[in-house]
Amino acid sequence: MSRLKVRVWRGSGEGRFESFEVPRHASQTVLDVVTYIQRVLDPTLAYRFACRVGMCGSCAMTVNGIPRWTCRTHVDVALKDRGELAIAPLRNLPVIRDLVTDMTAFFDKWAQAKGGFQGSRTRREPFHAIAPEKESRKRIDAAIECIGCAVCYSACDVVARNPGYLGPAALNRAWTLVNDERDAARAERLRAVAGDAGCHACHTHVSCTERCPKQLSPTAAIAGLKRETARAALRGEL
């Protein structure tokens, strides 16, 4: 059986890479590799995962320099032409230990971007029906499948340079709500996502869209927010 050389980040801010060798299998995922190391070679290795099928967004890591969901990333793909894997925690988030990051800032920014739906009807009123073919509904469909894995946040150079920036995921979430005609907090949300810490800080590098494992386009969502906030600003509504 062939062996795979793996370097894994250990420690937190003061950490370093540690080398391991794991058995190589067909269709092996990067998460399989990390799990093997933790279960067989070094039980002290800290990492995070839950569903293993690309739904929960817990297992994102930096694999050979690229932020990826490790449960759905085959070792073959991550290796490309390189002989070994280097597995590190996500960039742009503080490292708690080994491969585990502190995602508090990432989720706090969802709240800052008014990422929570705010309805205006009570349970005693009828449902607010939205036709599936409606354009605003289609824009929501295109952006709604985010699993909150923070791969986009880790890939974004603006987040790295401008720590206050809300980031692609929070802005993408806000975009789905801006297009939701049932939502009652539109003006407040547009104010929350505009300006130097919001959508206008985006340089359209498109790294988020390139790396998103769900093939969403936060870049398009942010462009939409730029248009909507500009309209609101020109009307004096921002």
What is the binding site for another protein (CB under 8 A)? Answer: 158, 161-164, 191, 194-198, 200-201, 203, 226, 229-230, 232-234, 236, 238
Provide, rounded to whole angstroms, the least separation between the CB of residue 64 and another protein: 26
We find the least distance from the C-beta atom of residue 43 to another protein, in angstroms, to be 39
Residue 67 or residue 198: which is nearer to another protein going by CB? 198
For the chain, the DSSP string reads --EEEEEEEESSTT-EEEEEEEE--TT-BHHHHHHHIIIII-TT-----S-SSSSS---EEEETTEEEEGGG-BHHHHHTT-SEEEEEPPTTS-EEETTEE--HHHHHHHHHTT-S------TTSPP----TT-HHHHHHHHHTT-----HHHHH-HHHHH-TT---HHHHHHHHHHHT-TT-S-HHHHHHHH-STTTGGG-----HHHHH-TT---HHHHHHHHHHHHHHHHHTT--
Report in angstroms how near the CB of residue 199 gets to another protein at its nearest.
9
Query: Least distance to another protein from the beta carbon of 159, Å?
Result: 11
Nearer to another protein, 56 or 230 (CB): 230
**Would you say 181 or 237 has its CB closer to another protein?**
237
* CB closer to another protein out of 34 and 197: 197
Q: Which CB atom, from 39 or from 203, has the smaller least distance to another protein?
A: 203
Give me the least distance between CB of 203 and another protein, in Å please. Answer: 8
